[in-house]
Structure 1
Amino acid sequence: MSVFTAHTAETAPAAARRAVETVRGRFGWLPTPVALMAESPQLLAGFLTASAGFDQTALTPLEREVVILTVSTSNECHFCVALHTGKLTQLDADTELINALRAGTVLPEPRLEALRRFTLAMLDHRGAVPDDELDDFLTAGYQPRHALDVVLGIGAYTLSTFANRLTRAPLDPPLAAHAWQPAA
């Protein structure tokens, strides 16, 4: 049973219409999670603002995708995993890296693995990361700023993954090639 409406630009609350149009223009289609989030213009605006801010952090595009996929698999968001698998593919990320991120296993590149482990530590300890885990992150070549950038990524994509799971957002056909389900 779904009580949530997948809006269009025409049916969305007035405060969400511009955001819906912008996303549709960027993708060439309206992702169902955005259509569903439009029911709450503030949620949609908050997610889009936070994710745009995350895109401006000191983390590279590949590093940002490591954070996003780590959050998405941890929160079991099938839509986010599929969408961001596509983004990794567009970045020409190595198949071994993509598969490891989707499976939640050790990444082949040590620096990216340190980022994945730090992201997991942030989630596991709700921000109170033990000193040794923060030290491991910094020893891998990251700076204190990067740790705070990870906080932003976790916040943005926790909004998205929770909303997608609550609304039971279906996987859109353009993402079918990257479909994902959590391990049982």
Structure 2
Amino acid sequence: MYFPALTLESAPSDAQRVMRSTADHFGYLPAAVAKMATSPHLLDGFLKLNASFESCTLDQLSREVLVMTIATRNECHVCVAMHTAALTRAGADPELINALREQLPLPDARLAALQEFTLAVLETAGNVPDEQITAFLAHDYTTEQALEVVLGIGTYTLSTFGNRLTGAPLDPTLAAFTWPTARADT
């Protein structure tokens, strides 16, 4: 086991403050955080990036669509379950949630444009053709939000890769949101 689940007592001192605040926020210490704490810099970096992403101009539903697009693409069962729960709590349409989990086209044209743009940014390493940028902007997104998509991609690439590398297990509180298409090793 390369990445043990650290506790507040066993984690490096640089990670303990962040772990404590995360545990206070969730009411428990998520297993993914306990494993990421092996690198206090990674854990702190993700949480700072996530706070920045959560305060950007993309609305909550758009942010969740972006996260789910990254999580399913990167096959991170922890992020898929966690953000399925977030979408459910927010009252998102079950058809939208299912489409995101199954990597299907989204039923809402604006959110579909965001999903397509996010995938285009990933597939082209940011060299998105003008027509795809125009299509994104035509759905009432802004150039600032196009760059916030990059922020979201960076934030959740860090999270999904970290969760997969450490073998973070699904927390019992998220069991109802298990992603059945997740591979056993993720």
Q: Which residue in the other structure is 2:86 paired with?
A: 87
Q: Which residue in the other structure is 2:36 paired with?
A: 37
What one-letter code is carried by the residue in structure 2 that aligns with 1:168?
G
Q: 1:181 to 1:122 in 2, by over 3 A?
A: farther
User: Deviation at 1:173?
Assistant: 0.6
Q: Which residue in the other structure is 2:156 paired with?
A: 157
User: Deviation at 1:130?
Assistant: 1.1
Counterpart Cα distance in 2 of 1:61 and 1:30: 24
- Give yes or no for the alignment of 1:78 onto 2:77: yes
Counterpart Cα distance in 2 of 1:10 and 1:183: 32
- Any idea what SS the aligned residue of 2:106 has? coil
User: Deviation at 1:182?
Assistant: 3.3
Counterpart Cα distance in 1 of 2:155 and 2:11: 22
Q: Which moved more, 1:71-80 or 1:126-135?
A: 126-135
Contact 2:33/2:43 (CA < 8 Å) preserved in 1? Answer: yes
Counterpart Cα distance in 1 of 2:180 and 2:36: 22
What one-letter code is carried by the residue in structure 2 that aligns with 1:33?
A
State the TM-score, normalized to the length of structure 1: 0.97
Q: Which residue in the other structure is 1:18 paired with?
A: 17
User: Deviation at 1:5?
Assistant: 1.4
The superposition leaves residues 51-105 of structure 1 with CA deviations (integer Å, 9 ceiling, x where unpaired) of: 0000010000111000000000010000000000000011100000000000111
- After the TM superposition, which segments of 4 or more aligned residues of structure 1 sit over 2 Å from their partners? 181-184
Contact 2:8/2:19 (CA < 8 Å) preserved in 1? Answer: yes
Runs of at least 5 residues in structure 2 that lack an aligned partner in the other structure: none
Q: Which residue in the other structure is 1:66 paired with?
A: 65
State the TM-score, normalized to the length of structure 2: 0.96
Counterpart Cα distance in 2 of 1:176 and 1:126: 34
Task: Provide the aligned length of Structure 1 versus Structure 2.
Answer: 183
Counterpart Cα distance in 1 of 2:182 and 2:83: 18
RMSD value, Cα: 1.0
Map residues 124-139 of structure 1 onto 2, 5 A cutoff: 124-139=123-138
Counterpart Cα distance in 2 of 1:148 and 1:91: 25
Contact 2:77/2:182 (CA < 8 Å) preserved in 1? Answer: no
Contact 1:122/1:129 (CA < 8 Å) preserved in 2? Answer: yes
What one-letter code is carried by the residue in structure 2 that aligns with 1:100?
A
Q: Which residue in the other structure is 1:108 paired with?
A: 107
Q: Which residue in the other structure is 1:123 paired with?
A: 122
Counterpart Cα distance in 2 of 1:146 and 1:4: 35
Q: Which residue in the other structure is 1:98 paired with?
A: 97
The superposition leaves residues 118-142 of structure 1 with CA deviations (integer Å, 9 ceiling, x where unpaired) of: 0111111111111111111001111
